[in-house]
Structure 1
Amino acid sequence: MGYAKVFLGVLLVTALAATSTAQTKLKCSKAGATCTALIDYVSPNNTNVTTIQSLFQVENFQNLLGANNFPTSTPSDKDVTAKKKIRIPFTCLCDNGTGVSNHKPVYTVQEGDTLDHIARDVFSGLVTYQQIADVNGLPDPNNITRGQELWIPLPCSCDEVNGAKVVHYGMVVDAGSTVEVIAKQYGTTQATLLRLNNMTDPSKLQAGQVLDIPLPACSSNVNSSSLDYPFLLANGTYVYTAYNCVKCKCDSANNYTLQCEPSGLKSTNSDWTTCPAMQCQGADGLFIGNKTSSGCNQTSCVYSGFTSKSILTSLVTESICPAPSAAWKIGFQGLGWNFFLFISIQLILFLSLHLS
């Protein structure tokens, strides 16, 4: 019976080698660059959030919740029904012109596994068996053994899109979707999606295909010395950083500006008995997330990153007074120099009469 199962597995992989098309590889031009990426996982069976966290080796449970904008109170055993999409946050690595997950997740081969079963069923077709074989240096895709550890290379990218920093989201296409509808849904263009996904014919879009979607990312003041640089957070998501001491969120309601505050959680850094101070220097009583106003100026204490010893902060001042409307400017300018000359003469005459 065991030999028959192995033989069938060999036949299946051999047949797929002749008929399947490789998953589209995403362009990632800066060699060695890393960034945060997202991808859909469609579970084939009923499961829960913790099981998915374990499968994809997402280190921080809260960040799995944040990628899906689930409430922070969501329990770890929250049910996930079969065929429901869950966004997986992971670190992308640019390598040889394409992007792949940075050596995670790693899957341990179980008794009776084939590469195609791992790719198609366990990871719901996010990768192909041949891609798993390639990144793991397997000369024979049929030859895997129980207990063997395999790196699963999820597709991703760190490239800017149309000159802007984005979070690349590998969206699993629903049946009946079109490139045009997806583009409108995510605030991009059909031309951009076709270019990113190396597609020339939008009618060739298939259900279950992983489509690269560029999600707007919030601007931030996180500097290059921070351990979480580059800090890219997609619209409609939140994340815990600085060893769980800081919670940041991104949404369009705040003009795509990163909003951070103390998390109130215990630090995951064993060297920090408590989270470090998050006060901005030169601002009395301002901590991360606090603001103060004076006239038309608003000063905010913002998160700027973290090191192994401290949490970095910055003061940012911006004008909060509304700018003059275009109509007012046009009307004011349309009065011309003759009007201002007339007003000036009248003012001089008024002052002369009352001061003499």
Structure 2
Amino acid sequence: MQNKNILLLFLLFKLLITTTSKSTIEPCTTSDTCNSLLGYTLYTDLKVSELSSLFQIDPISLLTANSIDISYPDVEHHILPSKLYLKIPIQCSCIDGIRKSVSTNYKIRPSDTLSSIADSIYGGLVSSDQLREANSVTDPNVLDVGQNLVVPLPCTCFNGSDNGLPAIYMSYVVQPLDSLNNIAARYFTTLTDLMNVNAMGTTGISAGDILAIPIPACASKFPKDSADFGLLVPNGSYAITAGHCVQCSRGPRNLNLYCMPASLAVSCSSMQCKSSNLMLGNVTVQQTSGGCNVTSCTYDGIVNGTIATTLTPSLQPRCPGSQEFPPLIAPPTVVPRESLFAPAPSPSSLFDGTDGRSPKSSVVPSTGFTPALGPSGISSGASAACSLVKPLPTLTLTLVLLFVKLMIPVAL
């Protein structure tokens, strides 16, 4: 009997080791910033403007990051439903030698505790210990109502690339029913890549762990003197640039970046290509005996406040069909029932029109852009060191209690 108890204790110790929380740290030495994402589930119903204020971001960037159509009336005051999963775009900076975002501030309310702010309001993206350290809180049980807390949020850059291809990294909080295989499949990456990015020796993950997930992106080829040089558009998103005049998105079935006039374009400079009647995003095709003459008017960045366009003629073996933009959705009003009882889905699966809504889609001519490769490889500094100190999961506490109970007969 004693041997059986010892064997059981060994197995319990092994489980305790594998349920330790972890997160990815990206060391840094420069002041460069990059675009990053947070995977976030709404803790309550919030207006678009309220959620934007919570993370101190532009409401338009929040909507475009989730392919929500910004042309809907009064869209910034639309109420988003509780439990809705969204991508939150943030700027990732180098702070004290580590990539993180510290631009977010939160004003304490009467019923708040550090734990409720960390676990509920910010969805586990920060820990109560981090909040206490970042704000020099001496007594976590005594918070001043109205005080502004600095909220450090996790992010990674990894040179804006993943295995030599453009990517934007999303900080993802592992959910109770998640597995590493399912997360990899959900975000169109491989198990090996996900383990390499997070410097993991095993596939073991626990609820509350924070993983860096590479989201495939489409890179622009704008000249270096353009204000939007280096524009990256992640899968399932679109971008508004040139002073809200131009909308850019990746094709639904390829990595090309396509740009056209934005739906809210006002007070914009000319978007007509010189020496032609074509406007930005337009294309003409003419079938000839030698192939198909294709002429397109493409976006070439915003330079000194002026929208730059390029007229590109080419001869192709066959005439191309119309280019489809990924569908833009109406602001969500409900959360699909199946997502309430399953691991958090990828944002694109929430907005693919399968939940009964009829997403609006745009059909526009192909612009023929090809993505520029980002810097090759990922940062060798990625590690699984635990900067985010999390409370032990419930399962772990249960195992500890069982361990103590079993230790009594063993000691006797």
Same fold (TM over 0.5): yes
> Contact 2:220–2:230 (CA<8 Å) still a contact in 1?
no
Question: 1:18-62 CA distances to partner (integer Å, 9 max, x unpaired)?
Answer: xx9776144264622222222122122233333212211221x33
2:229 maps to which residue? 229
2:273 maps to which residue? 280
1:181 maps to which residue? 182
SS of the residue 2:219 aligns to: coil
Q: What is the aligned-residue RMSD (CA, Å)?
A: 2.9
1:299 maps to which residue? 295
> Contact 1:221–1:303 (CA<8 Å) still a contact in 2?
no
1:349 maps to which residue? none
Matching residue within 63, 69, 72 for 1:71: 69
Q: How does 1:1-356 map to 2 (within 5 A)?
A: 24-27=23-26, 29=28, 31-59=30-58, 61-74=59-72, 75-101=75-101, 103-111=102-110, 113-136=112-135, 138=136, 140=138, 142=140, 145-159=144-158, 160-203=161-204, 205-253=205-253, 255-267=254-266, 274-281=267-274, 283-293=275-285, 295-307=291-303, 309-316=305-312, 320-321=316-317
> Contact 1:25–1:99 (CA<8 Å) still a contact in 2?
no
Displacement of 1:219 in angstroms is 2.9
Q: 1:47 to 1:314 in 2, by over 3 A?
A: same
1:351 maps to which residue? none
Q: 1:198 to 1:133 in 2, by over 3 A?
A: farther
Displacement of 1:97 in angstroms is 4.8
Displacement of 1:99 in angstroms is 2.3
Q: 1:278 to 1:83 in 2, by over 3 A?
A: same
> Contact 2:221–2:230 (CA<8 Å) still a contact in 1?
no
Identical aligned pairs, as a percentage?
Answer: 33
Greater relative contact order (CA < 8 Å, ≥ 6 in sequence): 2
Distance of 2:100 and 2:217 partners within structure 1: 20
SS of the residue 2:129 aligns to: helix
Question: 1:293-348 CA distances to partner (integer Å, 9 max, x unpaired)?
Answer: 464453332222224522233344555326xxxxxxxxxxxxxxxxxxxxxxxxxx
> Contact 2:65–2:237 (CA<8 Å) still a contact in 1?
yes
Q: 1:140 to 1:300 in 2, by over 3 A?
A: farther
> Contact 1:217–1:233 (CA<8 Å) still a contact in 2?
yes
1:341 maps to which residue? none
> Contact 1:115–1:141 (CA<8 Å) still a contact in 2?
no
Displacement of 1:73 in angstroms is 4.6
Amino acid paired to 1:186: Y
More helix by share: 1
Amino acid paired to 2:243: Y
Amino acid paired to 1:277: S
In terms of mean alpha carbon deviation, does 307-316 or 239-248 score higher? 307-316
> Contact 1:94–1:157 (CA<8 Å) still a contact in 2?
no
Displacement of 1:241 in angstroms is 1.5
TM-score normalised according to structure 1 size: 0.71
Distance of 1:65 and 1:33 partners within structure 2: 25
> Contact 2:41–2:85 (CA<8 Å) still a contact in 1?
yes
Amino acid paired to 1:313: T
Displacement of 1:185 in angstroms is 2.6
Amino acid paired to 1:54: S
Distance of 1:242 and 1:211 partners within structure 2: 33
Asked which structure has the greater CA Rg, the reply is 1
Question: 1:233-286 CA distances to partner (integer Å, 9 max, x unpaired)?
Answer: 011211211211111112342x2111111114255xxxxxx11112333x4123
Specify every segment of 5 or more residues in structure 1 that has no aligned partner in the other structure, as ranges: 1-19, 268-273, 323-356
Query: Structure 1 stretches (4+) deviating beyond 6 angstroms?
Result: none
> Contact 1:35–1:232 (CA<8 Å) still a contact in 2?
no
Distance of 1:126 and 1:99 partners within structure 2: 14
> Contact 1:291–1:300 (CA<8 Å) still a contact in 2?
yes
Specify every segment of 5 or more residues in structure 2 that has no aligned partner in the other structure, as ranges: 1-18, 319-412
